[in-house]
């Protein structure tokens, strides 16, 4: 039997996994710092629950199967499970309900470079009953900004828009019946030439005079306050437009008050999140120098999360980092460093089995001080043990032999600089802390 892993399923070597997990834990930790509670829902759900709200695209990609008489499916996102969860436990939850979930989701896409069939999504959402304060729409960019900074990722921008602006604008142009198709088309504008865009608008049956107006609208550029001024200057009185503008203005102001610098947040009227169910604020995030990565973090505001499952109105806003793809892209572009094959800060090797007990003692002392440490056990030559230490890339090596045992001062070698010295256990701990 040949050992094989399915195509489209990421599997990492230990040194890569250590870096992946570090990123994952920075995300989780930051989510918690902002008060989001962890959630963990099943990977498997009833197929009818997962497919209750989905369109045709999702259905084709879903892993669905029967076990006994039950139709089961593997989750393809974390939002539908959240909708189910919130409806199911509404009476036990306290609103505003802030939750994060980091988990694997499954989509049976055609495997291709950069597309995964199993991938991590790292979601945060805030849900309230009846009404959700617009401030939360500004909090999400602040959370994402904090994470990206902490991870030292390349320079990035969170692009932000409000769907009400474009739909209000279309209403004002008296072409509201085309809103769904136009939103979907606008979503593609960065990927197609202008003529194609205009051609497709025409194909939708849009009145020709309004097409260039629309194009000029979504192309409004400038600093955030300039864009807002230009939108205000349009003096459109449509209520949707007015609401969207007021929300967008608040979100930009508050996000900046929450510490997101101007260079990291940018209004972009062409962001619509085409197929999704968002109703207000929408987000996408791009690296300035790596636009080819696509959006690495997207989301938005929805009026009613659990409408399929519940009669309560539960508005929410959420954002999600697609971690597996992001990691893969960062790796491919040499934007990650893989320092070691081991989580250990120090590896202890001995010059003979008679020093094993001492090595175990030293290791235990280090661990009690929260320093990951390991003793290598194998009956082999000392040289082989040195080779192992070099190979796993451990930062510090501790050597215990006759002299060390007698003096209780242990040889410690900085594997990067090659420097070597002898230290008492207490000083070892100080150095390694």
List the interface residues with a second copy, window 233-252 (CB under 8 A). none
Contact in structure between 321 and 122 (CB atoms under 8 Å): yes
> CB neighbours of 417 closer than 8 A, spacing ≥ 6?
none
Q: Binding string to a second copy for residues 86 to 125, with x set by CB under 8 A, is what?
A: -xxx--xxx-xxxx----x-x-x--------xx-------
Is the CB of 51 or the CB of 158 nearer to a second copy?
Answer: 51
Work out whether 341 is an interface residue with a second copy (CB under 8 A): yes
> CB neighbours of 360 closer than 8 A, spacing ≥ 6?
375
Work out whether 48 is an interface residue with a second copy (CB under 8 A): yes
Contact in structure between 172 and 238 (CB atoms under 8 Å): yes
Which of these ranges, 182-190, 205-213, 262-270, 336-344, lies near a second copy under the rule CB under 8 A? 336-344
List the interface residues with a second copy, window 4-33 (CB under 8 A). 4-6, 9-14, 17-18, 20-21, 32-33
Half-sphere exposure of residue 257: CA atoms within 13 angstroms, side-chain side: 11
d(CA 130, CA 335): 43
d(CA 56, CA 142): 34
Work out whether 85 is an interface residue with a second copy (CB under 8 A): yes
Contact in structure between 270 and 186 (CB atoms under 8 Å): yes
Is the CB of 269 or the CB of 376 nearer to a second copy?
Answer: 376
Q: Look at residue 362 and give its three-state secondary structure.
A: helix
Which of these ranges, 48-56, 189-197, 296-304, 406-414, lies near a second copy under the rule CB under 8 A? 48-56
Is the CB of 168 or the CB of 315 nearer to a second copy?
Answer: 315
Q: Binding string to a second copy for residues 358 to 377, with x set by CB under 8 A, is what?
A: --x---x--x--xxxxx-xx
- 292 Rama class: left (phi>0) / alpha (psi -120 to 50) / beta: alpha
Is the CB of 164 or the CB of 254 nearer to a second copy?
Answer: 254
Work out whether 35 is an interface residue with a second copy (CB under 8 A): yes
* Candidate residues 41, 304, 312, 351; the one interacting with a second copy per rule CB under 8 A: 41
List the interface residues with a second copy, window 378-397 (CB under 8 A). 378-379, 388, 391-392
> CB neighbours of 316 closer than 8 A, spacing ≥ 6?
125, 126, 127, 128, 132, 301, 302, 305
Work out whether 38 is an interface residue with a second copy (CB under 8 A): yes
* Candidate residues 162, 298, 342, 350; the one interacting with a second copy per rule CB under 8 A: 342
Strand partners, 253: none
* Candidate residues 43, 151, 242, 431; the one interacting with a second copy per rule CB under 8 A: 43
Is the CB of 182 or the CB of 326 nearer to a second copy?
Answer: 326
d(CA 299, CA 54): 17
Assess whether the previous peptide bond of 96 is cis (omega < 30° from 0). yes
* Candidate residues 40, 195, 237, 419; the one interacting with a second copy per rule CB under 8 A: 40
């Amino acid at each position: 039997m040949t050992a094989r892993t399915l195509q489209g399923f990421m599997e990492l070597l230990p040194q890569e996994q250590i870096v992946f997990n570090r990123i994952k834990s920075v995300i989780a930790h930051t989510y918690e710092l902002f008060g989001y509670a962890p959630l963990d829902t099943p990977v498997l759900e009833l197929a009818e629950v997962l497919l209750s709200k989905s369109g045709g695209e999702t259905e084709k990609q879903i892993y669905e199967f029967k076990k006994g008489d039950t139709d089961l499916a593997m989750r393809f996102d974390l939002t539908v499970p959240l909708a189910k969860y919130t409806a199911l436990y509404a009476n036990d939850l306290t609103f505003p309900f802030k939750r994060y979930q980091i988990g694997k989701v499954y989509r049976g896409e055609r495997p291709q470079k950069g597309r995964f069939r199993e991938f991590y999504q790292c979601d945060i959402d805030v849900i309230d009953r009846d009404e959700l304060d617009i401030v939360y729409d500004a909090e999400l960019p602040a959370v994402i900004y904090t994470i990206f900074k902490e991870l030292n990722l390349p320079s990035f921008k969170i692009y932000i828009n409000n769907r009400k602006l474009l739909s209000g604008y279309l209403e004002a142009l008296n072409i509201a019946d085309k809103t769904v198709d136009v939103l979907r088309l606008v979503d593609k504008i960065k990927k197609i030439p202008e003529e194609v865009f205009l051609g497709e608008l025409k194909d939708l049956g849009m009145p020709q005079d309004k097409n260039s107006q629309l194009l000029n609208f979504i192309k409004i550029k400038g600093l955030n306050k300039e864009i807002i001024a230009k939108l205000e200057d349009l003096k459109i009185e449509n209520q949707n437009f007015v609401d969207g503008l007021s929300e967008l203005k608040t979100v930009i102001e508050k996000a900046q008050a929450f510490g997101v610098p101007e260079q990291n947040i940018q209004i972009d009227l062409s962001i619509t999140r085409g197929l999704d169910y968002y109703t207000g604020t929408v987000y996408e995030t791009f690296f300035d120098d790596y636009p080819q990565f696509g959006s690495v973090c997207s989301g938005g505001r929805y009026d009613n999360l659990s409408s399929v499952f519940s009669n309560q109105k539960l508005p929410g806003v959420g954002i999600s980092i697609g971690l597996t793809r992001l990691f893969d892209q960062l790796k491919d572009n040499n934007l990650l460093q893989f320092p070691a094959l081991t989580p250990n800060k120090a590896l202890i090797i001995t010059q003979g089995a008679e020093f094993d007990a001492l090595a175990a003692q030293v290791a235990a002392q280090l661990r009690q001080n929260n320093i990951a440490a390991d003793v290598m056990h194998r009956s082999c030559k000392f040289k082989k043990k040195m080779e192992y230490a070099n190979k796993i890339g451990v930062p510090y090596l501790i050597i215990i032999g006759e002299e060390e045992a007698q003096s209780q001062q242990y040889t410690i070698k900085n594997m990067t600089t090659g420097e070597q010295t002898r230290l008492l256990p207490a000083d070892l701990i100080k150095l390694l802390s």
